[in-house]
Structure 1
Amino acid sequence: MAVILERDLERGRIAFQQWHTAAQQSLQTAAAITINPTLPRSTWAMAVRYSLFLLERRAPGPGVEVRVAPWGAVKILDGPESDPHNLTPPDVIELEPDVWLRLACGITTWNQEKDAGHISAVGERDDLSDLLPLTR
């Protein structure tokens, strides 16, 4: 199932840009690792979905599942697929929406968020730093 509908791609692109702009403005008064812009929930949802869509296009494959609850999950990178009995791939990365969007926009780095304990990752391919930020 697609993380975002084709008809919502433009809305998602705009939401992602709005989040990025709000986060950049917040950098003037807050540390990067704490950036959490005050935007409507629908903007957050579309920004997450659109950014996961970009990630999926950048690194297609069935090997790693990236989950950003409650708004989306994608499978990326080559590698072993899901176990047919439980449908969970061997590598799973879980992130909160604010953490994911900071990474996707290049506000913070993978190592900063990992060191702060904001990333839950299981498996051999638990580092997405080569794929981020999505804004480059």
Structure 2
Amino acid sequence: MAQQHKRAVGEVVEQARRLADCLTTLRPAEFLRSIPCREDRVIDVTARVVLLGDSALSSLDHETTQRPGALADFIGSCGFTQHRLTRVTRELARHEAGAELAAQFAENIAEIGRRLADSALPDVVAYDGSAIRTVDLLRLTGIDWVLHCDDINRTLPTRTPITISRGILADSVRTLADTLRRRHPGHSIEVRIPPFAAVQCGTAGEPRHTRGTPPTVVETDPLTFVRLSRGRQTWDEAVKHHHVTASGLRSDLSEWLPLY
């Protein structure tokens, strides 16, 4: 795997370690705190990252010669997987203590770190019945780490926040922005997420636009874009709290978000 991908692997593992370090220090009452604007609690988030770590470990054992698709297409097809993951997550959270789940997650991440350091990564692996490039699987996992670190930071504001690395945040934003672009091709809307990404999108039957600034411009910050893309914040909430600025006739992207 190319050197830049190795660097990305290191960032994904380090971000997971930061999340694990926080979870293993939580008190029992903190595991029962509700995530803002969600039905989930901190213990549900902890159970979810345990399952995500299990899936990542399993995939590294299943190299495949199948042809992988684009990550944007994979994201578009994983709605059922997310629904099933939510169901299994809540079942696990009902039967396990938060501290035990946090310890299991820390063990998973330590094992993933050893596996990635000790051996060459397979180029393509099987994940949830599909072939996916290993680097794309790590990008997808990195988005989850960003999302869940942000969940914990917002839920437990009196604790020292988990630092989200610039590199993994940038990669998450670019992956999600590219998915948005591929899902809604065109040039009438420019979505800006400074300093990491700017993409042009469009709608069916849009007027032809080939040069200069598109007639509609939407801008937001990186964390808000991740929250919108993953359903942690609604479009109306983001606009209300001035986390999004938008101008133009087609500046309401609520029908496009979340992405999954």
TM-score category, normalised to shorter length:
0.7 to 0.9
Structure showing the higher helix proportion among its residues: 2
Q: Does residue 43 of the first structure (1) align with residue 173 of the second (2)? A: no
Q: Residue deviations 1:77-113, cap 9 Å, x none?
A: 23234463xx100001011111111111111100001
Amino acid at match of 2:139: G
Give how far 1:65 is off. Answer: 0.5
Asked if 1:114 corresponds to 2:239, the answer is yes
Structure 2 letter corresponding to 1:108:
Q
Query: Larger % of strand: which?
Result: 1
How far is 1:41 from its partner?
0.5
Distance 1:28 1:118, change over 3 A: closer
Judge conservation of contact 1:81–1:89 (CA < 8 Å) in 2: no
Relative distance call for 1:44 and 1:28 in structure 2 (3 A) is: same
Amino acid at match of 2:219: E
> Which runs of 5 or more residues in structure 1 are unaligned?
1-5, 31-35
Q: What is the alpha-carbon root mean square deviation over aligned residues?
A: 2.2
Please say if 1:19 is aligned against 2:149. no
The one-letter code sitting in structure 2 at the alignment partner of 1:22 is C
Partner of 1:99: 224
> Residue 55 and residue 116 in structure 1: after superposition, are their counterparts in 2 closer, same or farther (change >3 A)?
same
Task: Tell me which residue corresponds to 1:28.
Answer: 155
Measured in 2, the distance between the counterparts of 1:106 and 1:93 equals 18
- Take 1:83 and 1:19, find their aligned partners in 2: how far apart are those partners? 35
The TM-score normalised by the length of structure 1 is 0.79
Of 90-99 and 9-18, deviating more is 9-18
The counterpart of 1:75, out of the listed 173, 178, 200, is 200
Distance 1:81 1:11 in 2: 37
Residue 107 of structure 1 aligns with an amino acid whose one-letter code is R
Partner Cα separation in structure 1 for residue 252 and residue 224 of structure 2:
14
Using a 3 Å threshold, how does the CA distance of structure 1 residues 27 and 108 change in structure 2: closer, same or farther?
same
Structure 2 alignment gaps of length 5 or more: 1-70, 72-132
TM-score, normalised by the number of residues in structure 2: 0.43
- SS of the aligned residue for 2:188 comes to strand
Contact preservation (8 Å) 1:12, 1:49: no
| Count of residues in correspondence between the two structures | 123
Larger Rg, first or second structure (1 or 2) = 2
Identify the residue that residue 3 of structure 1 maps to in structure 2: none
